[in-house]
Structure 1
Amino acid sequence: MTTPLGKAPLAIRGLTDEQYGRVIRPGDAEYDLARAVYAGDVDREPAVILRPRTAAQVALAVALARATGLDLAVRSGGHSAAGHGVCDAGVVIDLVDMRGLEIDVDAGTAWAEAGISAGEYTSIAAEHGLATGFGDGTTVGLGGFTLGGGIGYLTRKHGMTVDDLLAAEIVTADGELLSVDEHDHPDLFWAIRGGGGNFGVVTRFKFRLHELDGVYGGMMVLPVTAPILEAVIAEAEAAPDELSTIVNVWTAPPFPFVPEEYHGKPIILAMLCYAGPAAAGKVVVDRFRAIAPPLADMVKAMPYPGMFPPADPLAHPIIAARNMFLDRVDLATAETILDHVTASSAMVAGAQLRVLGGAMARVAVEATAFAHRRSKVMAHLTAVYADPAEADLHETWVEGLMTAIRQSDSGAYVNFVAHAGQEQIRSAIYPGATGERLARIKARYDPTNLFRSNHNIVPATG
């Protein structure tokens, strides 16, 4: 039940659209839709949702949260697995109305406001034969995705999203709007390339654009056995940098393109993206076709935006999830994954395996706040279910799978982590020297930890 406006803190009752862009309060017709985030198990009721249109309005919203002492959450697309884009009884800064995009074709750069989605940016850039690498979903906002690092279809070819971040404009905890790049506030620029939303509200990003007339890519569905899975990952690792691969080992939903006898049973649903000439891409992808006859094969030459299937913006799945990195997917690891996926009672259970390397790994570890450049394979383990009463069952399953396949790489990717305590944040997400440096920068730009609705970096003391 939503909080009546009369019980809202006195300081936020008189806020106006002129000051803050759009002001949405409990009781407003759009309040419930505005507070909903992607994660279906998150149901929080902020005291007010502010949708600024300018950086100046963002600064006013930050100042409001600081002055009132209310919790502050910042939302770009609302896809945080932990629901960090919304808070209870606090202030939400929702950047959805800041969607400007300025492309300089000659310079090969773009200034994008933080509320634009990955799909919108990608489609507009493709009209010029250009692309910046984001993730694999259209509705994800650029803000949180970029600040966490950015792993997607162009990672092996061009690196992570933060490797194409050239500059940014950010409102810090004191309400100041800073322009940051390698020369101006270089410590802060380093920190926002992987350090998440710990340091302020980024209102605009300047990205590098790459020439990309099209790709050879799409979805391929394969039957799965442990030897087939091991071979698919080995082929993805051996492929040239032009190929980025996402291998989903899932219990098959009733997709019309999957033979009915496989519904509810493990399959491989692979997304392959070759960022180069179609003829060369076909040669590479044919090696996957040779592993096992595909159950469905939609890989073809296409415009880059064709890699992003349509998404339901109203979808709010309940997911138990764990994120980790693997050194390898050998036969034993493949068998363990299949055994666990088969045993799950979830609606859809599985392991998503993203082969890394390429351009991402050639950047120095200390160059940005993303500390996992040398990791080989990212594994995202999920169980999707409908009944909240089953949460413990599926959390136990996903924790068990993570434990069973754990190897020497103890890291985790901040954008895919749902819940993490300080121990995991400092040991797995921001380990060692990376975490220590981030804590010092946090102390400089946000000493009171105003920006704490995130996988939080605690300001260094002393």
Structure 2
Amino acid sequence: MTATNLSIPALRDAVRGRVIVPQDVDYDPTRFTVSAVFDDRRPAAIVRAADVEDVRRVVTLARETGLELAIRNGGHSMAGHSTTDGGIVLDLRELKGLAIDPVRRIASAEGGLTAGEYTTAAAEYGLATGFGDTASVGISGITLGGGIGYLVRQHGLTIDNLIAAEIVTADGELRHVDVEHEPDLFWAIRGGGGNFGVVTRFTYRLHPVDTIVGGMLMLPATPEVIAGFIALADEAPEELSTIANVMTAPPMPFLPAELHGKLVLLALMSHAGDVEAGLRTVEPFRKLATPIADMLRPGRYPDMYPPEEGEYRPLAVTRTMFLDTLDTGVAQTIIDHLEASDAPMRVTQLRVLGGAMARVPSDATAFAHRSSRIMANLASFYQGPDDRARREAWIDAFATALRQDDQGAYVNFLSDEGEEGVRRAYPSPTWERLAAIKGRYDPTNLFRLNQNIPPRADLEARTAAA
């Protein structure tokens, strides 16, 4: 099917929200995603849904016309799933409703909110739900893939705090799902990504998170410092979650010019608990080496989100994986590969997991990597199409050099790596169960612009053909 199947006047008549097409002056700014990699994709129409009925009508229209359907909230998909070339983008960003019950510690949030909007509102009550580490990320995408952020060791994944959801499935029906209502579908959306429908509302559990000890700590990037940091993070109380970026130092105004472009360990740290305990917990990290910059201090939890980058839209290739251990030998491998590249920016991001996340049974949700210890994300920026191929080759070699026994991957950080990449995100029993649920709720694979799990019938047909 092509865009010729789509009647724009009929679409505009069918929805309350705005329909944006290539002739509109704001088409380009609206169609662009966070990454500039996908700027060549041109949707036939972008629908800014005004309410749930708009969502139902657009899903039904896409099913009836056969047009490709992309769902967008924050637009951060590393695989380009937030847009389409010739199809329809269903943009949820007008769905901003948020109701917080501070007594019951429950929040009801519409699917168009960002993590920053939700977190800032909840902080007015001294409460929080853990999302990621970037304010502009949409709560929909990060929740459906699992949700690894600054509270993961203390309060688990985002999905571990999801109580219920309202989801429009491929048949255009709005369904309320929780542990008692359509529990298989509720299981699937907790880690299975956007394969099963459009979630228009989430109900989350909130936790008391008021003053934290957190911020940035920048240290020299030596094998001893990197391995020592990971060891301390692993041994630390669960109130502390960390993100350690081994990277080329950006031209931050407080850094001397001779450090720009040199390798550093830039750590983002958040201790959500007693302030005095937090200050004691972060002190050993400062002693790993003389800090280049030390911005660890008591503050508000929303301040952990860095300032937005404005119009900055990078070109980058990425890989994600889990590591079992990180000693000085692994740290040296990271340094060697980063130093061997001349990319304008390259980074290895390391997140120590465990804690509350690891205490949930691996089959309780579609996110099954509960025992994984360290998540590593590799990225290399590039400067145009001619530069991409060699950056891809570098990052593939880097990922191969780092690969350990844990062969899994976090679905939210996967780039466009095909079915083989998606299978790394789901062990076989999880994959099979997800495929069966997909076959029940989306047998024609309408929701395929995601890290796709084909419906079981489709899997069986392809296996027979092979």
1:303-452 map, 5 Å: 303-426=300-423, 428-452=424-448
Kindly provide the amino acid, as one letter, of the partner of residue 148 in structure 1.
G
Query: Partners of 1:387 and 1:93 in 2: how far apart?
Result: 29
SS of residue matched to 1:15: helix
Asked whether 1:112 is paired with 2:104, we answer no
Query: Partners of 2:193 and 2:345 in 1: how far apart?
Result: 29
Kindly provide the amino acid, as one letter, of the partner of residue 69 in structure 2.
L
Shift in Å, 1:148 = 0.4
User: Residue 15 of structure 2 corresponds to which residue in structure 1?
Assistant: 19
Query: Partners of 1:454 and 1:314 in 2: how far apart?
Result: 25
Shift in Å, 1:396 = 1.0
Q: Is the 8 A contact 2:14 2:57 kept in 1?
A: no
SS of residue matched to 2:267: strand
Structure 1 gap ranges (5+): 1-5
1:62 is aligned, of 59, 62, 74, to 59
Shift in Å, 1:257 = 2.2
Shift in Å, 1:261 = 2.2
User: Residue 229 of structure 2 corresponds to which residue in structure 1?
Assistant: 232
Query: Partners of 2:211 and 2:330 in 1: how far apart?
Result: 35
Query: Partners of 1:237 and 1:130 in 2: how far apart?
Result: 25
Q: 1:167 to 1:290 in 2, by over 3 A?
A: same
> Normalising to structure 2: TM-score of the pair?
0.96
Q: Is the 8 A contact 1:139 1:311 kept in 2?
A: yes
SS of residue matched to 2:283: helix
Q: 1:412 to 1:91 in 2, by over 3 A?
A: same
Structure 2 gap ranges (5+): 461-466
Shift in Å, 1:197 = 0.2
Query: Partners of 2:412 and 2:450 in 1: how far apart?
Result: 10
Q: Deviations over 1:218-269 (max 9, x none)?
A: 0000011111111011000010100001000001111122232221111000
SS of residue matched to 1:198: helix
Q: Is the 8 A contact 1:20 1:60 kept in 2?
A: no
| Superposed CA RMSD | 1.3
Q: Is the 8 A contact 1:259 1:295 kept in 2?
A: no
User: Residue 126 of structure 2 corresponds to which residue in structure 1?
Assistant: 129
Shift in Å, 1:8 = 4.6
Q: 1:10 to 1:135 in 2, by over 3 A?
A: closer
User: Residue 243 of structure 2 corresponds to which residue in structure 1?
Assistant: 246
Shift in Å, 1:10 = 4.3
Q: Deviations over 1:286-344 (max 9, x none)?
A: 00011111000000000101111111243321011100000011111000000111111
Q: Is the 8 A contact 2:177 2:185 kept in 1?
A: yes
Between 29-38 and 163-172, the greater mean CA deviation after superposition:
29-38
Shift in Å, 1:447 = 0.3
Shift in Å, 1:28 = 0.6
Query: Partners of 2:125 and 2:310 in 1: how far apart?
Result: 26
User: Residue 301 of structure 1 corresponds to which residue in structure 2?
Assistant: 298
User: Residue 165 of structure 1 corresponds to which residue in structure 2?
Assistant: 162
Q: Is the 8 A contact 2:323 2:373 kept in 1?
A: yes
Query: Partners of 2:420 and 2:317 in 1: how far apart?
Result: 20
Kindly provide the amino acid, as one letter, of the partner of residue 20 in structure 2.
I
Kindly provide the amino acid, as one letter, of the partner of residue 429 in structure 2.
A
Query: Partners of 2:455 and 2:331 in 1: how far apart?
Result: 41
Query: Partners of 2:246 and 2:277 in 1: how far apart?
Result: 26
Q: Is the 8 A contact 1:346 1:383 kept in 2?
A: yes
Q: 1:10 to 1:40 in 2, by over 3 A?
A: closer
Asked whether 1:139 is paired with 2:147, we answer no
> Normalising to structure 1: TM-score of the pair?
0.97
Q: Is the 8 A contact 2:358 2:371 kept in 1?
A: yes
Kindly provide the amino acid, as one letter, of the partner of residue 344 in structure 2.
M
Q: Is the 8 A contact 1:223 1:292 kept in 2?
A: yes
Query: Partners of 1:269 and 1:40 in 2: how far apart?
Result: 25
SS of residue matched to 1:14: helix
SS of residue matched to 2:36: coil
The percent of aligned pairs where both chains have the same amino acid is 54
User: Residue 463 of structure 2 corresponds to which residue in structure 1?
Assistant: none
